[in-house]
Amino acid sequence: MKDVTPQTVYLKDYRVPDFLIDNTDLVFDLREEHCRVTSSLRIRRNPDSATQLAPLVLDGGCAVDLQWVEIDGRRLGSDGYARSENSLTIAELPDSCVVTTEVLIKPHLNTSMMGLYRSRTLYCTQCEAEGFRDITFYLDRPDVMSEFTAKLIADRQRYPVLLSNGNAIDQGTMEDGRHFVVWHDPFKKPAYLFALVAGDLSSVEDSFVTLSGREIKLQIFVEEKDLNKCDHAMLSLKNAMRWDEQTYGREYDLGRFMIVAVDDFNMGAMENKGLNIFNTSAVLANPDTTTDAAFQRVEGIVAHEYFHNWSGNRVTCRDWFQLSLKEGFTVYRDAQFSADMNSAVVKRIEDVVYLRTHQFAEDAGPMSHPVQPDSYMEINNFYTLTVYEKGAEVVAMIHNLLGDKTFRQGSDLYFSRHDGQAVTIEEFVSAMEAVSGLDLQQFRLWYKQSGTPVVEVQSNYDAQAKTYQLQFKQSCPDTPGQTHKKPFLIPIKLGLVAADGQDLPLNSHGDRSLVISLTEQTQTVLFENIQQAPVPSLLRGFSAPVRLNYPYSSAQLAHLMANDSDGFNRWDAGQTLSFSVMQRLIEEALDQRELEVSSQLIEVFDGLLSDHSLDPAMLNLMLQLPSEAQLHERADIIHVQAIHRARQFARRSIAQALQSKLLETYKRLTEQRDYAPVADQIGRRALRNSVLGYLMLLEEIGPELAWQQFNSATNMADKAAALNALVNCAAAQDYAQQALQAFEQQYAQETLAMNLWLQIQATNSQPNGLDRIKALMEHSAFSINNPNKVRSLMGAFCSSNPINFHNPEGSGYQFLQQQIIQLNALNPQVAARLVTALTRWKKFPEPNRQLMRDALQLIASKQDLVKDLREIVSKSL
Ligand code: 0A1
Ligand code: ZN
């Protein structure tokens, strides 16, 4: 795991592989003390390689213990090959042959959760991006695609279920209580899509009949105790399968589709061919233990992994610089799916909030990189919001530029042209160009230039000429390694809203909403026959991932909130208004002036609460003030206390001014129906729980209400919201303690519910947060070896409890630095994710700035830092 001087890998250095692997035959002999892996690779020279005499260099991590090598059945002496720390080199090979190796690996000692490892009583694998090389020697790169056969042998009692990709073609029992299953995957695939699972699992089964009439067996494998938590994932899977047939014409290709839930997993889930492996948190759901948000996350991730079968597996990436080819596209596909299954505008708003809060911050920070990076030290550091979420926005822009029909033609062409291939982002864009006849040359900059573009807009109404002019000016800040950027092609969807709230006709066709493509640094658009000065509604639906500024007056924003025909912009107008109010409060707090919330904001909120025709989910979103994290992202200098105080003050003022309407709303939304995780109920619960959040700021009302809700809740969504409300309320600490205890007793056996319990406490903004974290680390519900638990406790504390984490003594930073050092040796990926909380030190005022930097420097001074951390820490210092 050690890497003193990590090497940088460059996109420009890409070369085709010197060898291809037509067939991969693997035997896994799983024993408690080790696993013996025998691998037979039918290889041949790649006719496209420029170096026809090159030796075979197989990747293999240092924990892979080589036993022997054979070429076409002939054992090599130790002078026949060379083993270095990360590879095995064999010179003088015939142009085609079978290379067989036998290695020993130790899954029970593997804490990184890459390669073959143990999760509780199971064996499982994670091979993306470069985990296969920790299992055996291989050409571990996505452009080497091979037909895999895997024989798994293990003790029959402890590991009755043996799974791998494709179809089970043979099985049998052996002497001394062992058994085996042979799996064959007819589809060629890169090693990163290989998977195996062995363990004592139960399964829920169902079936799906494809459009062409083939019956697919669907199986979700879990521990027996979790069998009652699989229905939602199964339903989501079937919905996703149908949706992909209808929306993209994509049918599933194997006879069965399997999902396995594991407790120890670094990410959400993994799209291994025919055998998806999921973090339990991304598959298990049941009303008693799972919040609404978690139900929706399960639906989205199940769909995401399923959609990868085409966008990722059938057509895969040539190299890891192309990661967004599969991830950006698949996130876009899962967002479309979730929009179709629930409320499209709500999904859009949630996604944009997430992008603006987290991806914008990444794009402005030391790790800023393009959607298609051009270099990396550790590829695991590039599974980022930029590659995933911004990558999805770029696909969304292509869809909007082409229109529905042409976009579908483009995706059809892309899938048919490149089925079975490992390709680049360029091929995706080319297919879209080919079907549309558009020139996307300038558009491609979205993949190559990092940073969030800024669009400044000015307007001018000429009452005599009846013309309305919009002037656009775009720019993009410098980012590491990139200065003086070229103008992007920015699609701006817009409308002009008249005094009566109607959209004005914008051209002779009578269009009332248009997409303007900005291509220049400055650009002017003139609208004629505009009878009155309108309010511009800009960037409708968030038509491009940019920051757009227009000097709106509060009255104009209120007009858009009330009238904009674009739901997204109705919401966004409210956000802009709230932001300006918050900005002023933060300044007042910094200047030690008395805080005062503008009456305009109160009036707007009053109006919203009085309007019972609003969709509860939308009303909920409109009542949200920007989060502290969003305010941090927007600030030039992050004044943690002032921001926290200003926001709390605004919330309290709203609660005080609108007490009776809030209370009335809370009561009105009491759910009479049985719990179901469906959009309309989720929206009502979300609104009711937000209102509860406001009411908590009224000491005479909130604590009692939350306590009642906690005790009477019939589902985890309401229970967790009540617990969270109590825990964060100074006046409700007695109730909070009782509720925490009751929760702990009730859910002691429910790992995911206990993670939520940890998370709610980790984000408690009451004083002395760090002491609580340290105490919870001793609790039996916590373990530093489990990524979900580290995220729930340390991750939540560092990223979502700013007032405690960023305390001016720096104890939060010291604590994090110590945890990172510990995780460095245990789980590099988890460590690298956590360290992000320190990397934006330049945005903080003293003393925090220096204290954060000190913590980073301490980490940097560690000798045996893994390259995941080395890369991030060095780039941020
Ligand atoms: N391809 C997966 C994400 C993923 C990436 C790396 C992993 O290794 C730790 C695991 C999962 C997806 O997009 O869902
Ligand atoms: Zn993915």
Coil, strand or helix at 181: strand
Reduced to 3 states, what is the DSSP secondary structure of residue 511?
A: coil
CB 162 within 8 A of CB 125: no
102, 130, 305, 633: the active-site residue: 305
CA–CA separation, 734 and 732 (whole Å): 6
267 alpha carbon – ligand 1 mean position (Å): 6
Closest approach atom of ligand 1 to CA 129: 6
Q: Which ligand is the nearest neighbour of the Cα of 331?
A: 2
Ligand 1 centroid, distance to 383 Cα (angstroms): 8
pLDDT for res 4? 52
Which numbered atom of ligand 1 lies nearest the CA of 305?
Answer: 14
Q: Which of 273, 383, 385, 868 to mutate to test the pocket of ligand 1 (most atoms within 8 A of CB)?
A: 383
Question: Which strands sit side by side in the sheet containing 490-497, from one edge to the other?
Answer: 514-518, 490-497, 535-538
Q: So what's the pLDDT on residue 5?
A: 67
Residue of 119, 127, 128, 317 to test ligand 1 pocket, by largest number of atoms within 8 Å of CB: 128
Ligand closest to the CA atom of residue 126 = 1
Measured by CA distance, the residue closest to atom 7 of ligand 1 is 128
* Smallest CA separation from ligand 1 atom 12, residue: 270
Ligand 2 midpoint to CA 621 (Å): 27
CA of 346 from ligand 2 middle (Å) equals 22
What's the 8 CA to ligand 2 centre distance in angstroms? 24
Main-chain dihedrals φ then ψ at residue 28, nearest 5 degrees: -110, 115
Q: How far is the CA of 268 from the centre of ligand 1 (A)?
A: 7
Residue nearest to atom 6 of ligand 1 (CA): 128
| Ligand 1 atom closest to Cα of residue 327 | 13
- Nearest atom within ligand 1 for CA of residue 380: 6
The protein residue with its alpha carbon nearest to ligand 1, atom 9, reads 266
Ligand 1 pocket test target in 262, 270, 307 with most atoms within 8 Å of CB: 270
Question: Ligand nearest 332 Cα, by number?
Answer: 2
Provide the 3-class DSSP secondary structure of residue 496.
strand
Residue 725, φ and ψ in degrees, nearest 5: -65, -45
Quote the ligand 1 centre to 438 CA distance (angstroms): 33
| pLDDT for the residue numbered 2 | 47
| Best probe residue, ligand 1, of 262, 267, 331, 381 (max atoms within 8 Å of C-beta) | 267
**Nearest atom of ligand 1 to the alpha carbon of 131:** 8
Give the phi and the psi of residue 282 in degrees, each rounded to 5: -105, 5
What's the confidence (pLDDT) of residue 3? 47
**CB-based contacts of 171: which residues, under 8 Å, 6+ apart?**
162, 179, 180, 181, 182
Query: Which residue minimizes the CA distance to atom 4 of ligand 1?
Result: 270
- Rounded to the nearest 10°, the torsion over CA 196, 201, 204, 210 is 10
- Within 6 Å (CB) of ligand 1, which residues are found? 126, 128, 266-271, 304-305, 327, 383, 829
Task: Collect the ranges in the chain with pLDDT lower than 70.
Answer: 1-5
Place of tokens 């390259």: 867
Q: What are phi and psi of 212, to 5 degrees?
A: -85, 5
Q: Which atom of ligand 1 is nearest to the CA of 330?
A: 13
Q: Specify whether the CB–CB gap between 6 and 870 falls below 8 A.
A: yes
- Write the DSSP symbol of residue 387: I
Q: Which residue minimizes the CA distance to atom 1 of ligand 1? A: 270
Q: Specify whether 305 is catalytic.
A: yes
CA 186 – ligand 2 centroid, Å = 22
Give the DSSP per-residue string, 312-373. TTTBEESSGGGHHHHHHHHHHHHHHHHHHHS-HHHHHHHHHHHIIIIIHHHHTSTT---SS-
Q: Strands 490-497 and 535-538, how do they pair? A: antiparallel
